[in-house]
């Protein structure tokens, strides 16, 4: 697998209903953790360019929960889940699109320090069936992932993502 800065590698496992996403960033692991757990930052980069993200609920801690909505031309797409674990190198959470309430995925995201201010984000989303996995793949998710991560790249380049996790600043 070739990992690039400008595009995520998205792979469907042929033997397990899993989607794997890998992408490198010009960022530290702490910056990527912050971008995924700070609700204000998350709302600024999550999803395709033609959507606005509204945070409805956000309790980013192990045992916490979250909910957000994407808005486009009067339409609303809502998502929710639970944070099972948040640590400096990993987030484990559930993810549910309210339009497919039976399609809960278990997501594990890791941040691997590559040195020189670069980090590899590796995500794995496990769903309950191959049909469910394929429904996610056919949803256009790659547009939201790649456009969202491009927005995150710009926030990182502009210095908008601090290199510290909330509550750990001195």
| Closest to 43 measured CA to CA, from 169, 160, 164, 140 | 160
152: which 2 tokens? 């995150």
pLDDT band, residue 166 (cuts 50/70/90)? low
CB 170 within 8 A of CB 68: no
- Cβ-count burial of 9 within 10 angstroms (0-12 exposed, 13-18 middle, 19+ buried)? middle
- What's the rounded Cα separation, in Å, for the pair 137 and 23? 17
Whether 1 has a pLDDT exceeding 50, the answer reads no
pTM of the predicted model as reported, rounded to 2 decimal places: 0.90
The whole-number pLDDT of residue 163 equals 83
Residue ranges covered by each domain of the chain: 9-157
- What number does CATH give the domain 9-157? 3.30.530.20
pLDDT tens digits for 34-48?
A: 999 999 999 999 999
The kind and range of the H/E element at 149 are helix 141-157
CB atoms within 10 A of CB 162: 14
């Amino acid at each position: 697998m070739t990992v690039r800065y400008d595009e995520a590698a998205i792979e469907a496992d042929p033997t397990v209903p899993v989607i794997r996403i890998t992408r490198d960033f010009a960022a530290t692991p702490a910056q990527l953790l912050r971008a995924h757990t700070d609700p204000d930052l998350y709302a600024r980069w999550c999803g395709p360019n033609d959507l606005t993200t509204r945070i409805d609920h956000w309790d980013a801690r192990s045992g916490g929960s979250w909910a957000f909505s994407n808005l486009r031309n009067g339409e609303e797409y809502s998502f929710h889940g639970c944070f099972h674990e948040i640590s400096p190198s990993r987030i484990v959470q559930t993810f549910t699109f309210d339009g497919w309430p039976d399609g809960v995925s278990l997501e594990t995201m890791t941040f691997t320090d590559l040195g020189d201010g670069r980090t590899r984000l590796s995500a794995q989303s496990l769903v309950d069936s191959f049909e469910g996995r394929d429904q996610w793949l056919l949803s256009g998710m790659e547009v939201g992932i790649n456009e969202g991560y491009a927005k995150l790249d710009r926030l990182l380049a502009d210095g908008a993502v601090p290199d510290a996790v909330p509550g750990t600043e001195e």
